[in-house]
Amino acid sequence: MANMTTSLYIMRHGATADNSPNPTKDRVKGQLDLPLDRDGIQAAHEAGKALQNSGVTAIVTSQMKRSIQTGQIVKGYLPDAKVVSTKMLNPWDVGAYTGQSYAHVKNDLSRLQKNPMEAPPAGKQMKGEPYGDFLDRYKQAMPRILGVAEKQPTLFVAHSRHLVALDGMMKGTEGDTTQVRDVTPPGTVLKLNVWAGDEKAPEAEAKAPAGDGDGEQPGY
């Protein structure tokens, strides 16, 4: 059978009140369950408009409000799409660093990325998990997302750490110290080509700013 390609769109969720272009005001979100702010809502609508003719019929999100809300807003422009949320895509639980200024804890997060079996200190609400545990969850989820994308155009609403980890997996540098502020801004959409019928890896084709469906889906 001839090889076929379909599309996987990876979108960083819209901004929240804790996102800021200023590193001294930008706060580490982790698993803090924040909704989108006004800018985040606008970015999700812009992404929905940009994806109207994409043919996307599956939207995969984490169980965080900011991810689900982004997916649901985009779905409003894609009437045939279904939103599926999974805890496997929840962001890295950074423990006591949750809610802290990014500028203040940047070096601590870099150290944890270099030592993926070391857990961050526990916070009042967040226990913290080693970066390696987050990577393991993501590595289990990504082949399932690709499996869905082989059958239908799919949108993955990602957190910033997913983009960092995906870049590392593609380059073979999973333990590097790339930080979330070095990846694309909230609301950005990345398009990948996915080959069905062979073992080729996804290929990045284009990247442009886009300017509760709870429960697991069979096969995902």
pLDDT band at 36 (very low <50, low <70, confident <90, very high): very high
pLDDT tens readout for residues 106-126: 899 989 988 999 999 999 889
pLDDT band at 100 (very low <50, low <70, confident <90, very high): very high
Task: Tell me if 178 is assigned to some domain.
Answer: yes
The residue that leads in pLDDT, 219 or 154, is: 154
pLDDT score of 1 more than 80: no
pLDDT tens readout for residues 162-209: 988 887 676 666 555 555 555 678 888 888 877 655 444 444 443 333
pLDDT score of 7 more than 70: yes
What is residue 197's predicted lDDT score, i.e. its pLDDT? 54
Please give the sequence-ordered ranges of beta strands (E in DSSP) within the chain, or none if there are none.
Answer: 4-12, 58-61, 82-85, 154-158, 188-196, 203-209
pLDDT score of 131 more than 90: yes
What is residue 216's predicted lDDT score, i.e. its pLDDT? 35
pLDDT tens readout for residues 52-72: 999 999 999 999 999 999 999
pTM over cut 0.75? yes
Task: Tell me if 35 is assigned to some domain.
Answer: yes
Task: Tell me if 33 is assigned to some domain.
Answer: yes
Q: Which residues form the domain of 142?
A: 4-209
Alpha-carbon distance of 168 to 170, in angstroms, equals: 5
Task: Tell me if 86 is assigned to some domain.
Answer: yes
The residue that leads in pLDDT, 21 or 152, is: 152
Q: Compute the half-sphere exposure of residue 155: CA atoms within 13 Å on the CB side of its CA.
A: 37
For residue 206, what are the CA distances in angstroms to 170, 188, 189, 203? 16, 11, 9, 9
The structure tokens listed for 161 are 């750490």
- Residue 124 gets which letter from DSSP? S
Task: Tell me if 219 is assigned to some domain.
Answer: no
CATH code of the domain in which 56 resides:
3.40.50.1240
The structure tokens listed for 168 are 């590392």
Task: Tell me if 220 is assigned to some domain.
Answer: no
The residue that leads in pLDDT, 209 or 93, is: 93
Task: Tell me if 217 is assigned to some domain.
Answer: no
Task: Tell me if 214 is assigned to some domain.
Answer: no
Chain length of the chain: 220
The residue that leads in pLDDT, 50 or 163, is: 50
Helices 65-75 and 38-50 cross at an angle (nearest 10°) of 40
The number of domains in the chain is 1
